[in-house]
Amino acid sequence: MALRNAATSGTLRELASYFVELDRFDGGNFRRWQKKMHFLLSILNIVYVLTTPRPAAPE
């Protein structure tokens, strides 16, 4: 269990470094920002939110 926690904390440190490197979107660097955001979301295994249609709201 300790080995798994150590691996997880290392991964979290790596993810934190990606957040630091992510440029704030200011409208002028869209392509670069888009690629970095897609990469970051794929690392977090949540890139599906970009392509999955939103379910219809109940009326």
Reading the chain (59 residues) residue by residue, the pLDDT tens digits are 343 444 455 666 776 666 666 667 788 888 888 888 888 888 888 889 888 998 899 98
pTM: 0.55
Residues 6+ apart with CB under 8 A from 40: 18, 19, 22
Q: What are the boundaries of each domain within the chain?
A: 2-40
Element (H, E) at 58: none
Find out whether 38 and 50 touch, Cβ atoms under 8 Å: yes
